[in-house]
């Protein structure tokens, strides 16, 4: 008999072999968020449908095409959460967090649901690590949030991530920009797809995000949000840019960047990865949503946050070339027991150590260390000061040093603390 069911389309089993990557991502998220004063919040996996319709925007793709909506047995319309910002803002007011000291810094890790056509990097159930800092409009908070996301990628030793930043203005300056966009696109309306013509009517910003070839051709010369910002938005954006520069966080100002959800004001940003292409090149994104609380019927309250996609990040982690922290080799046969003893001691301190147990020549062993992408090689021999000293070789910098055994752990930790060359 054939099995009665298979995994639903667009979902994944996270198998034991992959758990390591998931632990790495969630462990780093918890450590980095907690260290910066962000507290964990978990909201339900389903909410009243109206929460998402009002926040994401009635014309957004998420609401028009991607929601898992169902009537519950009481006839109420419920939706599996497609994103976390609206639920967190709802919880913030329902729990009275708006009366605590502001801003309130929150983070979450969990599953989200979007009924979309599954393809590489796009699932129907996926996971996000998100943060929301609510109750303060200072641009410094935007910088804090962006820096937190940047640190997360850095701590996973992911290279090839680029930060794209834009300001999309606020209620004061956006109407003028919207009209400028319509004026620009109006003469080309006949050439646009039906979907883009509807975007023109309902939400012309989305034309900047269209993947339709006719619309893409027009994007390069379209009016830029940054040229239409009011003074307050312009000042805020300059402060964000300055903060990122001072924090040593490299970024690209991308005037074409618009986000798929309607609740954003001012700062919008995304983290892109060079190995991901097309519509799914974004590892995560976020921005300011100063109008969201009022849209949901609460007191006007500013906020800023992001969500990073764990499936897309896991794909890159798996292709990343990271081996053991230390590859231990015995320089001569008789030093092997000592090599094992030192490797064991480093292991017990939580370091990833791999010991070479072969009888190969030393250069062959070092070749293996580099093939395994080890950061350091530990060369243990009895000639060196009767085994009191060992040689530690940095495999990337191709530098080595002779270290007394008593100082080995501290020295190795120091060397490993230096960021790998390709991560900025």
Q: Are 257 and 206 in contact (CB under 8 A)?
A: no
Dist CA 95 CA 234 (whole Å): 34
Dist CA 38 CA 132 (whole Å): 9
| Closer residue to ligand HAM (CB): 260 or 323 | 260
Helices 139-155, 231-246: inter-axial angle, 10-degree rounding: 40
Backbone angles phi, psi at 307, to 5 degrees: -135, 135
Dist CA 230 CA 225 (whole Å): 10
As a whole number of angstroms, the longest Cα–Cα distance in the chain is 84
Q: Could you say whether residue 284 binds ligand HAM (CB under 6 A)?
A: yes
Q: In this structure, how many other beta carbons lie within 10 angstroms of the beta carbon of residue 314?
A: 18
Q: Which stretch binds ligand HAM (CB under 6 A): 35-43, 83-91, 165-173, 390-398?
A: 83-91
Q: Could you say whether residue 307 binds ligand HAM (CB under 6 A)?
A: yes
| Closer residue to ligand HAM (CB): 81 or 375 | 81
| Closer residue to ligand HAM (CB): 144 or 356 | 144
| Closer residue to ligand HAM (CB): 121 or 135 | 121
> Hey, which residues between 124 and 153 contact ligand HAM (CB under 6 A)?
126, 128, 130, 132
Q: Are 261 and 286 in contact (CB under 8 A)?
A: no
Close Cβ partners of 391 (under 8 Å, ≥ 6 residues apart): 378, 379, 381, 384, 400, 401, 402, 403
Residue that the structure tokens 């959800």 belong to = 261
Q: Could you say whether residue 209 binds ligand HAM (CB under 6 A)?
A: no
Question: In the bound complex, what is the minimum distance in angstroms from residue 106's beta carbon to ligand HAM?
Answer: 10
Nearest residue (beta carbon) to ligand HAM: 309
| Closer residue to ligand HAM (CB): 288 or 393 | 288
Question: In the bound complex, what is the minimum distance in angstroms from residue 264's beta carbon to ligand HAM?
Answer: 7
Beta-sheet strands, E only, within 45-114: 46-48, 68-71, 77-80, 104-113
Among 57, 149, 286, 291, binds ligand HAM (CB under 6 A): 286
Q: What is the contact mask toward ligand HAM in residues 36 to 65, using x (rule: CB under 6 A)?
A: ------------------------------
Number of chain positions touching ligand HAM (CB under 6 A): 27
Nearest to 226 by CA among 214, 215, 241, 216: 241
Question: In the bound complex, what is the minimum distance in angstroms from residue 292's beta carbon to ligand HAM?
Answer: 9
Q: Under the phi-then-psi rule, with left for phi > 0, alpha for psi from -120 to 50, and beta for the rest, what region is 251?
A: beta
Among 54, 81, 90, 114, binds ligand HAM (CB under 6 A): 114
DSSP secondary structure, 346-375, as one string: HHHTT--EEE--S---HHHHHHHHHHTT-S
Question: In the bound complex, what is the minimum distance in angstroms from residue 111's beta carbon to ligand HAM?
Answer: 11
Q: Could you say whether residue 83 binds ligand HAM (CB under 6 A)?
A: yes
Question: In the bound complex, what is the minimum distance in angstroms from residue 259's beta carbon to ligand HAM?
Answer: 6
Asked if residue 36 has a cis previous peptide bond (ω within 30° of 0), the answer is no
Q: Are 161 and 272 in contact (CB under 8 A)?
A: yes
Among 24, 311, 384, 394, binds ligand HAM (CB under 6 A): 311
Q: Could you say whether residue 291 binds ligand HAM (CB under 6 A)?
A: no
| Closer residue to ligand HAM (CB): 28 or 377 | 28
> Hey, which residues between 255 and 274 contact ligand HAM (CB under 6 A)?
260-261
∠ Cα 79 280 184 (to 5°): 95
Question: In the bound complex, what is the minimum distance in angstroms from residue 21's beta carbon to ligand HAM?
Answer: 15
Q: Could you say whether residue 285 binds ligand HAM (CB under 6 A)?
A: yes
Question: In the bound complex, what is the minimum distance in angstroms from residue 319's beta carbon to ligand HAM?
Answer: 16
Q: Could you say whether residue 375 binds ligand HAM (CB under 6 A)?
A: no
Question: In the bound complex, what is the minimum distance in angstroms from residue 112's beta carbon to ligand HAM?
Answer: 7
Residue that the structure tokens 């260390």 belong to = 369
Query: 108 vs 29, 256, 263, 304, 349, CA distance in Å?
Result: 9, 29, 19, 14, 30
| Closer residue to ligand HAM (CB): 62 or 233 | 62
Interface residues with ligand HAM (CB under 6 A) are 83-85, 114, 116, 121-123, 126, 128, 130, 132, 260-261, 282-287, 289, 305-307, 309, 311-312
């Amino acid at each position: 008999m054939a099995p009665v069911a298979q995994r639903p389309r667009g979902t994944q089993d996270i198998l034991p072999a992959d758990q390591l990557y998931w632990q790495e991502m969630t462990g780093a998220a918890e450590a980095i968020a907690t260290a910066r004063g962000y507290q964990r919040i978990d909201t339900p996996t389903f909410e009243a449908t109206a929460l998402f319709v009002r926040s994401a925007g009635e014309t957004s793709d998420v609401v028009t095409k991607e929601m898992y909506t169902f009537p519950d047995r009481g006839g109420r319309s419920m939706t599996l959460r497609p994103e976390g910002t609206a639920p967190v803002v709802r919880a913030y007011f329902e729990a009275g967090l708006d009366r605590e000291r502001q801003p309130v810094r929150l983070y979450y890790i969990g599953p989200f649901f979007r009924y979309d056509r599954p393809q590489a990097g796009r699932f129907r159930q996926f996971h996000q690590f998100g943060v929301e800092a609510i109750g303060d409009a200072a641009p410094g908070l935007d910088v804090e949030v962006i820096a937190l996301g940047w640190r997360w990628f850095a701590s996973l030793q992911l290279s090839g991530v680029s930060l794209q930043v834009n300001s999309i203005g606020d209620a004061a300056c956006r109407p003028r920009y919207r009209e400028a966009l319509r004026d620009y696109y109006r003469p080309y309306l006949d050439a646009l797809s039906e979907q883009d013509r509807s975007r023109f009517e309902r939400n012309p910003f989305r034309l900047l995000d269209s993947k339709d070839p006719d619309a893409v051709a027009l994007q390069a010369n379209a009016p830029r949000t940054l040229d239409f910002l009011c003074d307050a938005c312009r000042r805020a954006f300059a402060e964000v840019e300055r903060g990122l520069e001072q924090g040593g966080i490299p970024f690209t100002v991308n005037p074409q960047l618009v986000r798929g959800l309607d609740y954003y004001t001012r700062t919008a940003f995304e983290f892109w990865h060079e190995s991901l292409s097309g519509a799914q090149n974004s590892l995560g994104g976020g921005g300011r949503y100063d109008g969201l609380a009022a849209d949901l019927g609460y007191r006007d309250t500013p906020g800023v946050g992001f969500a990073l996609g764990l499936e897309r990040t896991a794909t890159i982690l798996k292709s990343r070339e990271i081996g053991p922290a230390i590859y231990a080799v015995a320089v001569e046969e008789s030093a092997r027991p000592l090599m094992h003893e030192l490797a064991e001691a480093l292991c017990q301190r939580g370091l990833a150590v791999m010991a070479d147990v072969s009888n190969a020549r030393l250069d062959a062993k070092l070749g293996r260390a580099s093939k395994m992408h080890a950061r350091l090689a530990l060369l243990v021999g009895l000639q060196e000061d009767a085994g009191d000293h060992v040689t530690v070789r940095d495999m990337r910098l191709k530098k080595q040093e002779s270290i007394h055994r008593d100082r080995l752990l501290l020295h190795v930790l120091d060397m490993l603390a230096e960021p790998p060359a390709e991560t900025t």
